[in-house]
Chains A and B, each alone.
Chain A
Amino acid sequence: MINPKVYHSLGLKDDEYLRIKKILKRDPTITELAMFSVEWSEHCGYCSSKGWIKLFPKKGKIKTLLSEDAGGIILGNLAIVFKMESHNHPSQVEPKQGAATGVGGIIRDIFACGARPIALFDSLRFGNLENPHNRYIAKGVVSGISFYGNCVGIPTVGGDIYFDNCYNNNCLVNVMCIGIAERKNLMRAKATGKGNSIIYVGASTGRDGIGGCSILASDEFKEDDKKRPSVQIGDPFLEKCLIEATLEAISTGYIVGLKDMGAAGLTCSISEMAASGNSGIEVDISLIPKRESGMQAWEIMMSESQERMLLCIKKGKEKEIIDIFSKWDLNATVIGKVTDDGFVVIKDKDKIIAKIPAKELVNPPIYKRKYKEPDYLKKIKKVSIKKLPKIKDYNSILFKLISNPTVASKKWVYEQYDYMVGTNTVLVGSDAAVLRIKGTDKAIAATVDCNSTYCYLNPYIGAQIAVAESIRNLACVGADAVAITDCLNFGNPTKPDKFWQFKESVRGIISAAKFFKLPVVSGNVSFYNESPKGSIYPTPTIGMVGILDDVSLVVSQDFKNEGDYIILLGITKEEFGGSLFLKEIYSKLSKDVPTLNLKLEKKVVETVLCLIKNKLINSAHDCSEGGFLIALAECCISNDKPIGVILDNLDQGIDLTTFLFSESQSRFIISCSKENLKNVIKIIEKNNTPYRVLGKTFGERLIIYNKKEAINVDVNDLKKAWEESLPKYFE
């Protein structure tokens, strides 16, 4: 009989323990308990979320690819594979290594599919920068991404960063990796063929990261410091060698299947490879390369040491594969073989220390969580702009918003990332990043997005907006959206109000994804993002990939030439719920989250794509946080040499404050030459898209007339304020 304290300390509940006994028809060994505890953790088992995320659409307008470790799309002979994953709790506890190993983990998911990783994106959420601890976390996370991503030789080309009090005690680090594979090299995480060999490759197994998924990631924060040993340590150099060796090994054709060792380490890779191959696997842990002596079997099975992979190799081809890894100075050891009895058997030499049916191990209990609309929503009221004190000086508000850390230039961050290695990077620093596909005319565009304040106020619409804004971001660079990956960050799922946020967000993603015919090909759920001081806002981060058929047509957000016409597409209404303007200028939260009209969204996006394909416009940028004025300012200042504007044709039917700062959705600012204006308008009108020609680019001042002069600022000063804001917090 096992003392309940033992399995409680591993994160298992009483009824889960009883179920384990029933499966085994006996008391489990400590090693077996450890294996169940990690495999059935919320982090690995998706116990609370599975029932909902299985509802995501898996098919879209382009052929999709679904695999154990990541998903993707098919593009001729190529497959584009991608996935996003969180490493929130480790980064909160140990920012540099937490973020670094988050990068390392998602990269392994991609090359485990047989794809060469070609780009990284980070969606980061930090607390208020006025607090020195949040600055420490932000600085550490950025240095961790820089440390790992740069060395491993995969460019970090995009991402987004928000700062908000709701992340004060729980930062979010979501990393997306994109890879390209030749279709013939695509791999699955399967072990098949009785007698085939199981080979362990990569780093030795140590005591780091034990319980990372079950203890650190599947509970709320209580006492941080004690959890530090659960954070893994990353070695990007080893990972770089592992990528090269693994891809070389795959090209031999001798690999039957492979899987990375991420969360739940060996336990996960062994059991999931066996289960998805309808096989069993028997391994001898005495053969596993270990970093230190005296490690217990349960420690070996739970360790989350980084940079390790498990391979299933055709019998008789072991030497060929081991030689490739040896060439890269990496461990490669046969540790076991594929069996046909469906059992995962862990032996220490001749002694059996665990014997579990693989399919039971990977079949965690699914919990139907209760949900209930949170009380806070009843307390938040709509704020009417007309009832607020009148704005006297729009210039100073523009400066205040442009230097807000969430809006400010992220140059300080991205210049620490190698965003060019691989020589595919065509565009960064605009709405989406663009990477060419060598040997073709095509390019991949990608973006990550989520406004969690909207999701806090209305998770259904907020999640829809995250999908819509990603589509918009891709359209800005000329790319047609094709598929989604997501990283769903929420609080404690056993609390009904938190689970309601999750459920509503998932519903929102599903409705928008279905409307736009976008499959959700991969993803990750991160619960328990809360501490006794509170929970994060619901943050269902969307990663989206789009395709440009002709890379030479790519468009960026910055205004290019003097004398170009500036046109606003879309409709502006008084929609200030969750807006940056209300939050920063009046410290208020209004209930009226911007509405999202999916049909209008589709129309406007199609118009922008059509204009770009016909080479008619010189820039495109969507209006997001801060509304029209911030988007306009970004168009003026994101070029090396800022360009001014004179807007003197505003719609007099709209209140000026609403026009400048409302966060109405489905709006783009585009610019075009005088010669093209006629044709641009022709296409816009043909598509029945609402628009207004507002003025022209001119000189070095941003000037807006509304009967009289409303705004007049020097764009060089504006650029300075935008670029110098973030470094001030860190240098």
Chain B
Amino acid sequence: MKFGVVVFPGSNCDADCFYVLNNVLNCNTKYIWHKDTKLNDFDCIVLPGGFSYGDYLRTGAIARFSPVMSELFNFVKKGKFVIGICNGFQVLLESGILSGAMLRNKNLNFICKYVYIKVENKNTPFTKFCTKEILKIPIAHKDGNYYIDSQGLEELKENNQIIFRYSDKNGNISQDTNPNGSIYNIAGIINKEANVLGMMPHPERSSESILGSSDGILIFKSIIKWLSKR
């Protein structure tokens, strides 16, 4: 089982994702420079958070033209796994691998804080072995206000693609528990085939209890277990 962490110019959570996979979970993990296109060896690729290309123009708008992205389409088609976190999620939206778009946060500011998310779909490779229903996990973004039109939202709901929603620590979901204004309190979605996950919160920042929470590691553990059972 081999993990890859893509490095775009401006990625800044690449080393953090690498550390959790390689050092905390002892997985075989390699960095993938954004101009590399050999992805065959990998089972799961992480698009990390950060400010790829400075987020100039729009978040993720330039990174999606990186050479690695055209190869990522084939990777996804083969049914292999992709996790886009924060800026990685934004890149997945810009590239059309996941549907929807990101708007600026409702309060127009960057927000960095711990939130709670509720696992809405437990039957995915990313959540099947997640032993908790509500995760304490941090967000850190300025453009995390997820938007999709009403028809798109209905489709996401029908296909159980909404995987995480912002909630309180008891799992109650309301506007009060929505940190950025995202539609339907959406914090993370998957594609129809359930092999691509995009999420705004940072599981790699909540994978060790010394950092305040180890709930995020459950997502990585789930995909590892899924891959090893395959």
A-facing residues in B118-147 (Cβ within 8 Å): 138, 140, 142
Knowing A420-B202, A421-B12, A551-B210 are in contact, say whether A415-B51 is a contact too (CB < 8 A). no
> B56 an interface residue at 8 Å Cβ cutoff?
yes
> B111 an interface residue at 8 Å Cβ cutoff?
yes
> A417 an interface residue at 8 Å Cβ cutoff?
yes
Inter-chain contact B202/A426, CB cutoff 8 Å = no
CA distance A406 to B138 in the complex (A): 27
> A202 an interface residue at 8 Å Cβ cutoff?
no
Which residues of chain A are within 8 angstroms of B219 by Cβ–Cβ distance?
none
B-facing residues in A681-731 (Cβ within 8 Å): 731
> A419 an interface residue at 8 Å Cβ cutoff?
yes
Q: By DSSP majority rule, is chain B's interface helix, strand, loop, or mixed?
A: mixed
> A425 an interface residue at 8 Å Cβ cutoff?
yes
Which residues of chain B are within 8 angstroms of A329 by Cβ–Cβ distance?
9
A-facing residues in B12-33 (Cβ within 8 Å): 12-13, 15-16, 19-20, 23
Inter-chain contact A328/B9, CB cutoff 8 Å = yes
Which residues of chain A are within 8 angstroms of B12 by Cβ–Cβ distance?
151-153, 240, 421
Which residues of chain A are within 8 angstroms of B51 by Cβ–Cβ distance?
150-151, 153, 236-237, 240
Knowing A151-B55, A418-B140 are in contact, say whether A241-B10 is a contact too (CB < 8 A). yes
Inter-chain contact B9/A423, CB cutoff 8 Å = no
B-facing residues in A425-439 (Cβ within 8 Å): 425-426, 436, 438
- Chain A 232-243, CB within 8 Å of chain B: the 1/0 string? 000111101100
The residue of chain A having its C-beta at the shortest distance from the C-beta of B169 within the complex is: A640
State the interface size on chain A (CB cutoff 8 A): 30
> B230 an interface residue at 8 Å Cβ cutoff?
no
CA distance A329 to B109 in the complex (A): 30
Knowing A151-B10, A236-B51 are in contact, say whether A417-B16 is a contact too (CB < 8 A). no
B-facing residues in A203-232 (Cβ within 8 Å): none
Taking a contact as CB atoms closer than 8 A, the residue among A153, A416, A438 that contacts B109 in the complex is A416
B-facing residues in A14-64 (Cβ within 8 Å): none
A-B pairs with CB below 8 Å: how many? 83
Query: Closest Cβ of chain A: how far from B164's Cβ, in Å?
Result: 18
Which residues of chain B are within 8 angstroms of A425 by Cβ–Cβ distance?
211
Q: Which residue among A236, A329, A420, A422 has the maximum number of chain B CB atoms within 10 Å of its CB?
A: A420
> B113 an interface residue at 8 Å Cβ cutoff?
yes
Knowing A153-B50, A416-B112, A426-B210 are in contact, say whether A438-B19 is a contact too (CB < 8 A). yes
CA distance A552 to B140 in the complex (A): 25
- Chain B 192-227, CB within 8 Å of chain A: the 1/0 string? 000000000010110110110000000000000000
Inter-chain contact A241/B9, CB cutoff 8 Å = yes
Query: Closest Cβ of chain A: how far from B48's Cβ, in Å?
Result: 10
> A333 an interface residue at 8 Å Cβ cutoff?
no
> A146 an interface residue at 8 Å Cβ cutoff?
yes
The residue of chain A having its C-beta at the shortest distance from the C-beta of B140 within the complex is: A418
Knowing A152-B12, A241-B9 are in contact, say whether A420-B19 is a contact too (CB < 8 A). no
The residue of chain B having its C-beta at the shortest distance from the C-beta of A424 within the complex is: B211
- Chain A 323-340, CB within 8 Å of chain B: the 1/0 string? 000001100000000000
Which residues of chain A are within 8 angstroms of B73 by Cβ–Cβ distance?
none
> B110 an interface residue at 8 Å Cβ cutoff?
yes
> B53 an interface residue at 8 Å Cβ cutoff?
yes
Which residues of chain A are within 8 angstroms of B56 by Cβ–Cβ distance?
237
The residue of chain A having its C-beta at the shortest distance from the C-beta of B13 within the complex is: A421
CA distance A153 to B51 in the complex (A): 8
CA distance A731 to B20 in the complex (A): 38
Inter-chain contact A418/B112, CB cutoff 8 Å = yes
Which residues of chain A are within 8 angstroms of B210 by Cβ–Cβ distance?
426, 436, 551-552
Query: Closest Cβ of chain A: how far from B142's Cβ, in Å?
Result: 8
Which residues of chain A are within 8 angstroms of B107 by Cβ–Cβ distance?
731
Query: Closest Cβ of chain A: how far from B2's Cβ, in Å?
Result: 22
CA distance A418 to B142 in the complex (A): 10
Knowing A237-B56, A417-B110, A417-B112 are in contact, say whether A423-B140 is a contact too (CB < 8 A). no
Query: Closest Cβ of chain A: how far from B109's Cβ, in Å?
Result: 5
CA distance A241 to B9 in the complex (A): 6
Query: Closest Cβ of chain A: how far from B97's Cβ, in Å?
Result: 24
Inter-chain contact B110/A146, CB cutoff 8 Å = yes
CA distance A731 to B51 in the complex (A): 26
Which residues of chain B are within 8 angstroms of A420 by Cβ–Cβ distance?
112, 138, 140, 202, 205, 211
CA distance A536 to B13 in the complex (A): 40
The residue of chain B having its C-beta at the shortest distance from the C-beta of A411 within the complex is: B113
Which residues of chain A are within 8 angstroms of B211 by Cβ–Cβ distance?
420, 423, 425-426
> B96 an interface residue at 8 Å Cβ cutoff?
no
Which residues of chain A are within 8 angstroms of B109 by Cβ–Cβ distance?
146, 415-416
- Chain A 142-153, CB within 8 Å of chain B: the 1/0 string? 000010001111
Query: Closest Cβ of chain B: how far from A149's Cβ, in Å?
Result: 10
Query: Closest Cβ of chain B: how far from A409's Cβ, in Å?
Result: 13
A-facing residues in B50-74 (Cβ within 8 Å): 50-51, 53-56
Which residues of chain B are within 8 angstroms of A236 by Cβ–Cβ distance?
51, 54
Q: Which residue among B20, B49, B208, B211 has the maximum number of chain A CB atoms within 10 Å of its CB?
A: B211
The residue of chain B having its C-beta at the shortest distance from the C-beta of A150 within the complex is: B110
Knowing A150-B51, A151-B54, A423-B204 are in contact, say whether A416-B110 is a contact too (CB < 8 A). yes
CA distance A421 to B205 in the complex (A): 8
The residue of chain B having its C-beta at the shortest distance from the C-beta of A152 within the complex is: B12
Query: Closest Cβ of chain A: how far from B168's Cβ, in Å?
Result: 12
Inter-chain contact B16/A419, CB cutoff 8 Å = no
Which residues of chain A are within 8 angstroms of B20 by Cβ–Cβ distance?
423
Query: Closest Cβ of chain A: how far from B114's Cβ, in Å?
Result: 9
Taking a contact as CB atoms closer than 8 A, the residue among B50, B113, B205 that contacts A423 in the complex is B205
Which residues of chain B are within 8 angstroms of A552 by Cβ–Cβ distance?
210
Taking a contact as CB atoms closer than 8 A, the residue among A150, A241, A436 that contacts B140 in the complex is A150
10 closest A-B pairs by beta carbon, nearest first, are A153-B12, A237-B54, A151-B51, A423-B16, A418-B140, A416-B110, A418-B112, A420-B205, A146-B110, A237-B10
B residues with CB within 8 A of A? 9-10, 12-13, 15-16, 19-20, 23, 49-51, 53-56, 107, 109-113, 138, 140, 142, 202, 204-205, 207-208, 210-211
* Pairs across A and B, CB under 8 Å, 8 listed: A151-B12, A152-B12, A241-B9, A415-B113, A420-B205, A423-B19, A425-B211, A426-B210
- A237-B9, A415-B111, A421-B13 are known contacts; what are 4 more A-B pairs with Cβ within 8 Å? A150-B51, A415-B110, A417-B110, A552-B210
